[in-house]
Structure 1
């Protein structure tokens, strides 16, 4: 099962994107990436906060138990036919967690662009996550579907925490609780996806969402074994990418095939960008597989009928980049930090800012406008004979 419902517009404070912030540490060196020493160094003065802008919102109560079934009809062997009742059940079960993540991202993104409020926002985010951590959020996963799909929520929470962790020197107990919770979940995810997950699920988008969550935990906890596991998970799936760029375990989804390839590329590219920019390398074959998969998805958006030829059914994805839900293509900001593509960058310009709450919120801010995540982390392609 993969995430299906559309993500609502990110609320709150996180719509400020065309600015800079200092990036994450280089994992191998345990140092912070070189970048802007202070946020908005070019600005004469930071904006004055509104009267109520230092208020911390009321967060949803922690979600501890998840016990939902599938979004799909039991008779749908390829999980391409939605069960409306099952779909509503899953949405309801995850509603509080998803709202929590949207709130966290808005606050965390604002901490990056507004130095006046950075500590206030950080204190709010960290305090809120600590409540969930101390309550044992997601500690009772009662169904296989819950175990397979909750990772994106862990990743979203971890991403918000990583953005603000070093914006405040306070709340050491809260940080300790959060990081113990992250380690517990990262350990569960690595064990579950290595051993107990269904065989087909191990080859698709859900494992990539787990890899993203584990990558975020690795960067926070400075745990190289988590990075190694995330890389191994990516390699398992990259090895299946067809020469035409299609991802076979997503193409099984019939009318939703392109939807799910986009859904798989989101955590894949974001995790790869974080890993690559922290001094880990991808082989030429691995880089090529990511490039093919993204190219196939973009070509499919331009002409969905081409994907229908592979998947066997007309696609639900609308034609044209401008007609996509912003969250579904926000991962392209992460991709552009790996691969220099001026033409794609220009196409995205009128659509920015692009946000996906499960990947940290405003990805235009976190990748394109982040001096530590600039394009070209992947090795340049070797020019073919006759290329100019």
Structure 2
């Protein structure tokens, strides 16, 4: 017996892949209970027990950010990324009690990653989703700025990651005040950089000086791309960082510590497409949820060099 059109339509609807349905967002993390895990004065030696505790306590937040990035980058459904962000926005996630300075680090990393992932799917958001998610991002950005401005003492890579988080919020909300604050952070970093391109606060990190030089450079090149900045000092910073990665002996001599080798493909990828420089050779996927997922696919907020596109 030949199936009717109605039967065929009903069968196709019932056979639709259930796997495509979005899983419910996990309960929002309102409070953040994180802890530092370095055991020496240079913050270069990791205490494995403290590190394990921190990973366990922040896993729900990292898992949330990772899944949003996957969905926003096409490994799932963009609608799922938006639904999860809307869910946490409605519960005022990450706006409760923060147990330590490390908790503030986690919040700013998460905010930057969420905003950069959201930029990839923002065009698909409903007006209600935009209002909820972007309003939440503004509140988190304001809290990030308030905490940062209240801090005393030196500024290091954490300040630059705060600048990136607030810049990314400015990018998705189109609010000048957030972009201006991110630009202030960028300018401060360029002003404190040594003439050779090294960042003094990162050079104080003992065996991890090179690691933190690279880690500090990443948010700065992303801020530059989002804000469409071209600065000779940034060029110097990148040259120094790339050269030190290839040959850490100069940093080892300057700091008195042998250096752990660190790759710079993420730096070269972001900086290169903004400045029209050759891209680094392909390797393992450049996947960083704190930077919006797949770094080899330009974020919609980035400004690419003229004639360059992805």
Same fold judged by TM-score > 0.5? yes
Aligned equivalent of 1:174: 129
1:233 corresponds to 2:185: yes
State how far apart, in whole Å, the 1-side matches of 2:24 and 2:242 are.
Answer: 39
Give the alignment of 1:292-311 within 5 angstroms. Answer: 292-311=236-255
Q: Secondary structure at the match of 2:117?
A: helix
**Is the 1:256–1:317 contact (alpha carbons within 8 Å) kept by the matching residues of 2?**
no
Shift of residue 51, structure 1, vs aligned partner? 4.3
- Structure 1: runs of 5 or more not aligned: 1-49, 112-116, 319-323, 378-388
**Is the 2:163–2:185 contact (alpha carbons within 8 Å) kept by the matching residues of 1?**
yes
Q: Which has the higher contact order (CA 8 A, sep 6+)?
A: 1
State how far apart, in whole Å, the 2-side matches of 1:53 and 1:235 are.
Answer: 47
Equivalent position to 1:71, from 30, 34, 37: 37
**Is the 1:337–1:376 contact (alpha carbons within 8 Å) kept by the matching residues of 2?**
no
- Structure 2: runs of 5 or more not aligned: 1-15
State how far apart, in whole Å, the 2-side matches of 1:301 and 1:376 are.
Answer: 28
**Is the 1:330–1:356 contact (alpha carbons within 8 Å) kept by the matching residues of 2?**
no
**Is the 1:269–1:335 contact (alpha carbons within 8 Å) kept by the matching residues of 2?**
yes
Aligned equivalent of 2:10: none
State how far apart, in whole Å, the 1-side matches of 2:251 and 2:156 are.
Answer: 17
Indicate the structure (1 or 2) with the bigger Cα radius of gyration: 2
Q: Secondary structure at the match of 2:296?
A: helix
Shift of residue 373, structure 1, vs aligned partner? 3.8
Superimposed CA distance per residue, residues 343-388 of structure 1 (whole angstroms, 9 cap, x where no aligned partner) = xx2xx23226422211111111125xx79743369xxxxxxxxxxx
Aligned residues: 291
Shift of residue 78, structure 1, vs aligned partner? 1.9
Aligned equivalent of 2:27: 61
**Is the 2:25–2:87 contact (alpha carbons within 8 Å) kept by the matching residues of 1?**
no
State how far apart, in whole Å, the 2-side matches of 1:363 and 1:77 are.
Answer: 33
TM-score normalized by structure 2? 0.86
Pairwise CA RMSD: 2.4
**Is the 2:111–2:165 contact (alpha carbons within 8 Å) kept by the matching residues of 1?**
yes
**Is the 1:240–1:248 contact (alpha carbons within 8 Å) kept by the matching residues of 2?**
yes
**Is the 2:33–2:99 contact (alpha carbons within 8 Å) kept by the matching residues of 1?**
yes
Aligned equivalent of 1:365: 297
Q: Which has the higher helix share?
A: 2
Aligned equivalent of 2:140: 185
1:375 corresponds to 2:305: yes
State how far apart, in whole Å, the 1-side matches of 2:306 and 2:52 are.
Answer: 41
State how far apart, in whole Å, the 2-side matches of 1:198 and 1:128 are.
Answer: 35
1:110 corresponds to 2:74: yes
State how far apart, in whole Å, the 2-side matches of 1:146 and 1:103 are.
Answer: 20
State how far apart, in whole Å, the 1-side matches of 2:99 and 2:83 are.
Answer: 27
**Is the 1:105–1:360 contact (alpha carbons within 8 Å) kept by the matching residues of 2?**
yes
Give the alignment of 1:275-294 within 5 angstroms. Answer: 275-276=227-228, 281-282=229-230, 287-294=231-238
Aligned equivalent of 1:266: 218
Q: Secondary structure at the match of 1:88?
A: helix
Shift of residue 77, structure 1, vs aligned partner? 2.0
State how far apart, in whole Å, the 2-side matches of 1:313 and 1:260 are.
Answer: 14
Shift of residue 331, structure 1, vs aligned partner? 3.3
1:81 corresponds to 2:58: no
Equivalent position to 1:125, from 81, 91, 102: 81
State how far apart, in whole Å, the 2-side matches of 1:263 and 1:372 are.
Answer: 19
Aligned equivalent of 1:9: none
**Is the 1:245–1:294 contact (alpha carbons within 8 Å) kept by the matching residues of 2?**
yes
Aligned equivalent of 2:104: 147
Aligned equivalent of 2:7: none
State how far apart, in whole Å, the 2-side matches of 1:371 and 1:352 are.
Answer: 24
Aligned equivalent of 2:270: 334
TM-score normalized by structure 1? 0.69
State how far apart, in whole Å, the 1-side matches of 2:24 and 2:214 are.
Answer: 33
Q: Secondary structure at the match of 1:349?
A: coil
Aligned equivalent of 2:90: 134
**Is the 2:274–2:302 contact (alpha carbons within 8 Å) kept by the matching residues of 1?**
no
State how far apart, in whole Å, the 1-side matches of 2:182 and 2:68 are.
Answer: 24
**Is the 1:273–1:335 contact (alpha carbons within 8 Å) kept by the matching residues of 2?**
yes
Q: Secondary structure at the match of 2:297?
A: helix
